[in-house]
Amino acid sequence: MIQLTGSPALKVQVMCEGIRYTPALGAAAAHSMPNYYPYRFKEGEADPTGRGIATIPYLINTPDGTEIRILGNGDSPWHVEGSLEAGYQLIDDRSGQRVAIEFEPLRPWATQKTADGMPYAQAGITTHGDMLVINVAPGCEYFLHKHEGQSMRCTFCAYGAPDERTKHLGQITGRVEILPDTLDRMRNALDAVIDQAEIRHIYLVGGSLTDARKEGERFLQLARYVKSVNRRNIPVALGSGAIPDDQIKTFFDEGLVQHVCFNLEIWSEELFAKVCPGKHKYVGYRRWIEALETAVKHWGRGNVYSAMVAGNELEPEHGLEWEDAARIALQGAEDLCSRGIIPIYSLVWPSGGRQRPDYHQRIRSYFEALSTGYQAIRRRHGLEVAETFMCHRCAYMQIECDLDRQAHGVPA
């Protein structure tokens, strides 16, 4: 069994245990990219803001370039001290270990606007590290449908609800086409970001449509537009749902994207049906895997990916202990890799079970077992994450790129 060491070991610990609030962490928010989730003080925790919540930075960078997403946790043994001038340190109370860190900086584009006055931050782009994510139609139709009283949205999803963002972007339920103005504003923002930060990957995503062919049409429109404005030829990944085979072929034939990532989210048909009821009803588990296999036929082994929500198996309703959860996830890794598909595991804390005293420990045990077991599987299948798809500088809650990098002897 491979053991985690160096930066990958640190990253897994900090992702699983979170970071507790300190004034230094709060002060860093002034010059850092802000976290999408504010820090929520737990009951009895010292709250210098007096508001119960505080803005904190989103991402940490260690000296070797490892990127780590910050999750606030008032019980964490990890905390931050220091300042912008003196430098920041991430400290483990248990061992006294101190790691010099920086935070992902707040770039000028975050407060700039398009020519017609829309903040770039609302124009359908976000970044993490050197990845730029384009999402000009975030509203997901699965949020609007129910069957036998059950919502069709994925149970873990907090970002697909039609809301203010969809309004800014002119997204209207039922209209497949993305408005030309929306695309042009996105292009303004894209140009500004690319001028201000080194972007090495573009990832096209969006909310799902209940008709996979219509979803494919929308992504074709988006990908053709991005191809026409991608002046530095940055590699692009298609992050749609599992669209029909003839549309997948069109993406390939037109050279619109270099990688494909249809997110299965969770392994086993039983869990998929429970966790992703919309994907299961409107596309289906088997069809999802078939679409990934079609993509492998075009782009080749190692260029087709599927994001997985690692940790969702630990939700109490599934009744699984971490050993079983890791075993099921690893079965999926073996199966997908044997088809030339690379799953990418993003750590997601289960929303239930927080009262368990071993809540954080079982997440860590699960994720360490999964990460080390999966690294061995990928090695056996000769699969590595393509640098053009994602890398250690943008993998903020995934560990595969860090492990591949370490395997190549880069300091970690």
Interface residues with ligand SF4 (CB under 6 A) are 140, 142, 153-154, 157, 160, 207-208
Chain center to CA of 306: 11
Distance CA 394, CA 396 (A): 6
Nearer to ligand SF4, 208 or 294 (CB): 208
Nearest approach, Cβ of residue 369 and ligand SF4 (Å): 25
Nearer to ligand SF4, 155 or 388 (CB): 155
Nearer to ligand SF4, 277 or 340 (CB): 277
Q: Which residue sits closest to ligand SF4, CB atoms considered?
A: 160
Nearest approach, Cβ of residue 147 and ligand SF4 (Å): 14
Nearer to ligand SF4, 12 or 242 (CB): 242
Nearest approach, Cβ of residue 8 and ligand SF4 (Å): 26
Nearest approach, Cβ of residue 141 and ligand SF4 (Å): 8
Nearest approach, Cβ of residue 155 and ligand SF4 (Å): 9
Nearest approach, Cβ of residue 333 and ligand SF4 (Å): 20
Distance CA 147, CA 149 (A): 5
Nearer to ligand SF4, 137 or 223 (CB): 137
Residue 275 φ/ψ, nearest 5 degrees: -85, -35
Nearest approach, Cβ of residue 140 and ligand SF4 (Å): 3
Nearer to ligand SF4, 8 or 241 (CB): 241
Nearer to ligand SF4, 104 or 141 (CB): 141
